[in-house]
Structure 1
């Protein structure tokens, strides 16, 4: 969880800042942003856009789902294998209850896995570092455990061992692991109603939906490739946290900023929506690479026909081929456009490259098919 310190001179300003920073609703079972967002709505600060809610509910319903397994911790190295062939192993005494006592006997483990470009779009879990550098993904993983209704956590220095079939191209000796943040802590300094200084810390949503940062625990920092059986093997040393097995993409070409203009069917509520509830979204998949780059930043004060998004500044390589998928939800109708491009150099006298979109009406089935087709781009 990231920490940000911000000085706020007064309660009203603090509330406005809180509303501005909280722009996400995720479906993780323990995501604190749900509570934060509900409080904002209750105070009249912001409400979900109905078109955005419709779109994201639709995406989540058609994307990767949680899988639940029963494991007996009394067994030596208790394990289970998910539908995608990924094996999870827990050693005895590795999990503890809220009071610190070891969990014994049967427990329930919940897992969600994201393994391809389509799943990244459906789950709104693209791959980029907290500084915007794109990552080539070998899988994203979320694990939670409970015994009865009691949530469990890993004992210090314990971990869940994971073995996954190595995708094509994952024959590096080791691949870095990354933690994904879905929330941040805002530290607000201001004054009370009797003008006394006060500092408050509040958990709110990550403004991009997901930030990936390197795992710092040396024992869990890498997935190791086993050439004898073609697997990647790594440790999850924390539950209820997204973990990514990724390597930085090699992008040697000069970089440019890409501005994506929607000539039509852009929902203007996008710039005021929670991340995870935007009614218009734009994704880019580099050709032949298991990665999805989401364009988060909306263009401010655009004239008609120039609404849309822009990339991080100087982040997209000139000459990079790839496929965009633009999606909108307006008045209950879905719109989409898939466009394969090669990123061009900026025109003379400019510092950006443009791509234009005109999403057309699509059925729900067509939208699912378009998203699934991103796997082959």
Structure 2
């Protein structure tokens, strides 16, 4: 996570740089180093209670961690419920002092394999420049011996074999971390870039960067057994096996207006706990795009989000899911659309949402149904 400088109109800089940090154990494993717990102490607004309620609910209904214990006196392996086989080699793990970890080792694994899981866990698929990715699985692995956390020895890795149906012989690998940025530039309700002295939240969910280590940069497809085979060269970090989507059509910027039930605290929420969220699933593709950039200074009825500039293909069919949490009530709307071209004289396309009250069970059903869209 990184929080950048806040710039006041007129060019005076107020430094709010708190440094970079890792948040992958957030909430699920109660990571004590999670900096979002210290936002109030650092002078930043505490998480909005409606946002906290929504994200607690989503996590509780999303993909669960699985635990496996193996003996690393020799090479060992385990297979998850999703059918993915993890192989760990003897002496590949080390303790904090650098000594080899042998004997019983406990692995904690979370796997995300479909659109609903990406929404529940807030792990969408898009590059750090907004290019959408088609996912063949997202993976998180941690290891410990007793209460001692372990790491991979330099130049070591965990081998993963995952069942998959792909046409490519190799698929790029991506590492991910959560990123929050504070700044005062943004686009208003008619897609004009403006500068303000207020703060916003840009909660990506996860920021994917392509792996650069040549030995771990690609998953290789084995057609003899229908598996993707790749290496995890780090622990306590999300890894994604994704290929860039082929989207040849001209691109546009999509502005998503909420005519009602948009929680205004979304624009100043930090720590990835926004009370209003918007996701888009391209039809027939295992991908979720999160709209997280908020519209600056909107008039009533034009609150909401916008995509990356010129990032969404004109003619792309897909399904949006808008979710809000306001005063203890959940609101949602699912809408299937075909992205239209900008109107004459504009450089953006609009979609309008009016989320209606829903029960917790209905919200789970709506999210789950995104798998088949």
TM-score by length of 2: 0.88
Paired with 1:254 and 1:231, the residues of 2 have a C-alpha distance of: 34
Q: Residues 6 and 295 (structure 1 numbering): CA distance in 2 closer, same or farther, change over 3 Å?
A: closer
Give the one of 265, 276, 279 matched to 1:280. Answer: 276
Is 1:232 the counterpart of 2:233? The answer is: no
What are the residue-to-residue correspondences of 1:4-43 with 2, within 5 Å?
13-15=14-16, 18=18, 26-27=26-27, 29=29, 34=34, 36-43=35-42
Give the one of 99, 103, 112 matched to 2:110. Answer: 112
For 1:262, the equivalent position in structure 2 comes to 258
Is 1:158 the counterpart of 2:156? The answer is: yes
What are the residue-to-residue correspondences of 1:180-191 with 2, within 5 Å?
180-183=176-179
Paired with 1:79 and 1:223, the residues of 2 have a C-alpha distance of: 19
Paired with 2:282 and 2:363, the residues of 1 have a C-alpha distance of: 20
Judge conservation of contact 1:25–1:277 (CA < 8 Å) in 2.
no
> Can you give the 5+ residue segments of structure 1 that lack an aligned partner in the other structure?
187-204
RMSD: 2.7
Give the one of 305, 310, 313 matched to 1:309. Answer: 305
Judge conservation of contact 1:23–1:207 (CA < 8 Å) in 2.
no
Is 1:94 the counterpart of 2:79? The answer is: no
Paired with 1:101 and 1:372, the residues of 2 have a C-alpha distance of: 44
Secondary structure at 2:266's aligned position in 1? Answer: helix
How many residue pairs are counted as aligned between the two chains?
A: 350
Query: Any idea what the Cα deviations from partners look like across 1:154-192, whole Å, max 9, x if unmatched?
Result: 1111100001111x3x13100000010225899xxxxxx
Q: Residues 242 and 28 (structure 1 numbering): CA distance in 2 closer, same or farther, change over 3 Å?
A: farther
1:149 Cα offset (Å): 1.0
Paired with 1:185 and 1:103, the residues of 2 have a C-alpha distance of: 38
1:42 Cα offset (Å): 2.9
Query: Any idea what the Cα deviations from partners look like across 1:259-281, whole Å, max 9, x if unmatched?
Result: 00000100000001125210000
Query: Any idea what the Cα deviations from partners look like across 1:204-225, whole Å, max 9, x if unmatched?
Result: x985231111111111111111
1:253 Cα offset (Å): 0.2
Give the one of 234, 242, 247 matched to 1:246. Answer: 242
Greater fraction helix? 1
Q: Residues 221 and 2 (structure 1 numbering): CA distance in 2 closer, same or farther, change over 3 Å?
A: farther
Paired with 1:25 and 1:91, the residues of 2 have a C-alpha distance of: 24
TM-score by length of 1: 0.87
For 1:145, the equivalent position in structure 2 comes to 143
1:2 Cα offset (Å): 7.7
1:3 Cα offset (Å): 10
